[in-house]
Amino acid sequence: NAGVTQTPKFQVLKTGQSMTLQCAQDMNHEYMSWYRQDPGMGLRLIHYSVGAGITDQGEVPNGYNVSRSTTEDFPLRLLSAAPSQTSVYFCASSLGTGQETQYFGPGTRLLVL
Amino acid sequence: GQQVMQIPQYQHVQEGEDFTTYCNSSTTLSNIQWYKQRPGGHPVFLIQLVKSGEVKKQKRLTFQFGEAKKNSSLHITATQTTDVGTYFCAGPENTDKLIFGTGTRLQVFP
């Protein structure tokens, strides 16, 4: 049981490039979410999903897209990276809702030049 | 939308001293969760409080949920170097959104 996995661990992008951050969980959790962590800002919710085929926006969704085609996977797409998107990105999952215990992945550190 | 603030932002203590972080929400919460993130790591769930005025203890850690369910605190007695990290509170805005506080980073000097 690997829990929540994220790839890559670290990525450097140039402004304007696109990329997908991968997130997968093997706990059969319905709820999955993406957070970004910046110094002094805590963890801010980007997008979340309450089940396969259902996604919605969080606090800071601009510049990011998500999809949830399976229960296990919840990729985060940056369509045109900007330096303001330099951050550490965490994927999390919980059994049913956003009110329950969140299990976090190890994170992806992204640097946009 | 809902805002969750924590104070202080940073705290440096000598090993053996006590530590407290405070969490304040702009709205009434159905529950409050606390997480710990070690340096270079990811947030790990510590505890959830649900009832007004609830107090829970985990060894040297004491968690309180305010009577109005808009604030919470985490108190660590006699800190150890293993307590180093950032402590986050988090409250649900609704059933789908869990909003995290800004975090308190604790440094413990031996």
Cβ contacts from A onto B, under 8 A: 66
pLDDT in the model for residue B62: 98
Helix (H, G, I), strand (E, B) or coil at A110: strand
CB–CB of A48 and B1 under 8 A?
A: no
Q: What is the pLDDT of residues B28-82, one digit of tens each?
A: 999 999 999 999 999 999 999 999 999 999 999 999 999 999 999 999 999 999 9
Flag whether pLDDT at A41 surpasses 90. no
pLDDT in the model for residue B29: 93
Nearest residue of A to residue B100, measured between CA atoms: A43
**pLDDT interval class at A72 (50, 70, 90):** very high
Mean pLDDT of A36-42: 88
**pLDDT interval class at B1 (50, 70, 90):** confident
Nearest residue of A to residue B43, measured between CA atoms: A104
- Strands (E) across chain B are located at 4-7, 10-14, 19-25, 32-37, 44-49, 55-58, 61-65, 71-76, 85-92, 98-100, 104-109
**What percentage of chain A exceeds 90 in pLDDT?**
91
CB–CB of A98 and B96 under 8 A?
A: yes
**pLDDT interval class at A102 (50, 70, 90):** very high
**pLDDT interval class at A43 (50, 70, 90):** very high
Flag whether pLDDT at A2 surpasses 90. no
pLDDT in the model for residue A39: 82
Flag whether pLDDT at A1 surpasses 80. no
Q: What is the pLDDT of residues B77-106, one digit of tens each?
A: 999 999 999 999 999 988 789 999 999 999
Q: What is the pLDDT of residues A46-59, one digit of tens each?
A: 999 999 999 999 99
Q: How far is B3 from chain A (nearest CA, A)?
A: 10
Q: For residues B110 and B108, what is the distance between their CA atoms, to the nearest angstrom?
A: 6
Backbone angles phi, psi at B27, to 5 degrees: -130, 165
**pLDDT interval class at A96 (50, 70, 90):** confident
CB–CB of B92 and A99 under 8 A?
A: yes
Flag whether pLDDT at A66 surpasses 90. yes
CB–CB of B100 and A35 under 8 A?
A: yes
- Strands (E) across chain A are located at 4-7, 10-13, 19-25, 31-38, 42-51, 54-57, 64-66, 76-78, 87-94, 103-104, 108-112
